[in-house]
């Protein structure tokens, strides 16, 4: 990231390589541990929170017009079919699906996941985070819509999220051949929706919802096809973040609070119970605690008191080097053992100095 606003030159890239080479080896080890353990557990707990039917109900009410007129309770109880499927089906058609070894379903309406990193992270297999089917209120079809929810840590991952969302939705459509339809039975194809929940979003993009879908355009004449025959692919991107914690949209506000690094475990439980009227069972409570431990306990340690100015200076310098390597702020915070807000302040100070 070039904070000066100037065009990057080969010299800049040389500086970046030099910065990378000067990062202490223990920092690299910390990052590896974060990726394979803490980050995996955080992602798993985040998926388990989102996979609650009550939480999914808030999401699809905000994302899809088909459910806008119904209460979240009606959506959760009447329209979400069966149990959400977590990281079981491979996205790419040449990758194998995960074997059905997820274990017993919990009493919190979700599938128990595995708490440790698995082979898929090493062999490159990509699974849909969460998949479930929903009844269409308009016709009561048992499988009216196929919905996929993806949790994205960073909303600028190096590729356009809408494009990836379109690919995921298209894969859900093509995978219906042989299960929902065969041969020329294209009329049986079900609508597919891919919803992307972006946690760590800059304030300028925070608290936004964008939807992408097929529409009909009559270029000549006035012939219209039934909307249900072409409205088969939709992508929705919800960008959360700090502004989202005060959003006027219930889903954005709920998710932003659950993924906040600033709110305490007690504050999150209070929001679930009193603001969003969600009953919190033991498993849900444990997942919220896990997210809090990883976002506060892992990232927010070491800089409350009792450190020398020399240690602070060294940590800041390391944070600046890691920022030059374009690492996400969570990984920078973990590596230097500082809170996310503390690192934000350091980087903001640096930006001010560069502007001057």
User: Per-residue pLDDT tens for 165-188?
Assistant: 999 999 999 888 888 888 889 988
Task: State whether 163 and 62 are in the same domain.
Answer: yes
Task: State whether 219 and 74 are in the same domain.
Answer: yes
Task: State whether 68 and 24 are in the same domain.
Answer: no
Distance of CA 52 to the CA centre of its chain: 15
Tokens describing residue 275: 């603001």
Is the pLDDT confidence value at 9 over 70?
A: no
Show which of 193, 228, 260 is a domain's final residue: 260
Is residue 102 a part of any domain in this protein?
yes
Task: State whether 240 and 130 are in the same domain.
Answer: yes
Task: Please indicate whether residue 238 or residue 313 has the higher confidence score (pLDDT).
Answer: 238
Task: State whether 97 and 158 are in the same domain.
Answer: yes
Alpha helices in 296-336 (DSSP H): 309-324, 329-336
Is residue 24 a part of any domain in this protein?
yes
Q: Count of domains in the chain?
A: 2
Element (H, E) at 210: strand 208-213
Is residue 271 a part of any domain in this protein?
no
Task: State whether 192 and 331 are in the same domain.
Answer: no
Mean pLDDT across the chain: 79
Is residue 270 a part of any domain in this protein?
no
- 263-309 pLDDT tens trace: 889 999 999 999 999 988 888 999 998 888 776 444 443 344 445 56
Task: State whether 172 and 256 are in the same domain.
Answer: yes
Task: Please indicate whether residue 246 or residue 327 has the higher confidence score (pLDDT).
Answer: 246
Helices (H), strands (E): how many in the chain? 13, 6
Is residue 291 a part of any domain in this protein?
no
Task: State whether 153 and 96 are in the same domain.
Answer: yes
Domain extent for 163: 51-260
Task: State whether 116 and 238 are in the same domain.
Answer: yes
Task: State whether 342 and 223 are in the same domain.
Answer: no
Is the pLDDT confidence value at 22 over 90?
A: no
Task: State whether 231 and 331 are in the same domain.
Answer: no
Give the pLDDT score at 27. 57
Q: Are 342 and 263 in contact (CB under 8 A)?
A: no
- Check: pTM over 0.75? Answer yes or no: no
Is residue 286 a part of any domain in this protein?
no
Residue with tokens 């100070």: 349
Is residue 288 a part of any domain in this protein?
no
What is the DSSP code (8-state) at residue 195? Answer: E
Is residue 124 a part of any domain in this protein?
yes
């Amino acid at each position: 990231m070039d904070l000066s606003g100037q065009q990057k030159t080969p010299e800049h890239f040389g500086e970046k390589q030099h910065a990378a080479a000067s990062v202490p080896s223990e920092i690299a080890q910390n990052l590896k541990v974060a990726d394979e353990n803490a980050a995996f557990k955080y992602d798993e707990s985040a998926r388990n929170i989102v996979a609650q039917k009550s939480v999914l109900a808030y999401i699809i009410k905000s994302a899809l017009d088909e459910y806008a007129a119904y209460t979240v309770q009606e959506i959760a109880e009447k329209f979400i079919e069966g149990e959400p499927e977590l990281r079981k089906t491979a996205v790419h058609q040449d990758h194998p699906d995960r074997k059905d070894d997820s274990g017993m379903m919990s009493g919190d309406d979700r599938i128990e996941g595995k708490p440790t990193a698995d082979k898929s992270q090493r062999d490159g297999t990509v699974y849909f985070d969460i998949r479930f089917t929903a009844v269409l209120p308009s016709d009561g079809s048992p499988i009216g819509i196929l919905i996929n929810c993806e949790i994205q840590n960073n909303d600028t991952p190096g590729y356009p999220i809408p494009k990836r969302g379109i690919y995921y939705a298209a894969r859900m459509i093509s995978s219906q051949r042989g299960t929902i339809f065969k041969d020329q039975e294209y009329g049986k194809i079900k609508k597919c929706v891919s919803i992307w929940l972006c946690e760590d979003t800059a304030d300028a993009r925070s608290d936004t919802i964008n939807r992408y879908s097929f529409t009909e355009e009559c270029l000549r004449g006035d012939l219209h096809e039934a909307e249900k025959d072409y409205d088969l692919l939709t992508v929705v991107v919800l960008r959360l973040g700090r502004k989202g914690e005060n959003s006027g949209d219930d889903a954005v506000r709920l998710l932003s609070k659950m993924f906040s690094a600033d709110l305490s475990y007690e504050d999150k439980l209070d929001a679930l119970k009193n603001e969003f009227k969600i009953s919190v069972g033991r498993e849900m409570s444990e997942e919220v605690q896990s997210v809090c431990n990883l976002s506060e306990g892992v990232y927010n340690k070491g800089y409350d008191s009792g450190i020398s100015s020399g240690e602070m200076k060294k940590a800041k310098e390391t944070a600046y080097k890691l920022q030059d390597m374009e690492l996400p702020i969570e990984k920078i915070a973990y590596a230097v053992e500082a809170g996310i807000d503390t690192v934000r302040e350091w980087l903001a100070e640096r930006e001010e100095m560069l502007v001057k």
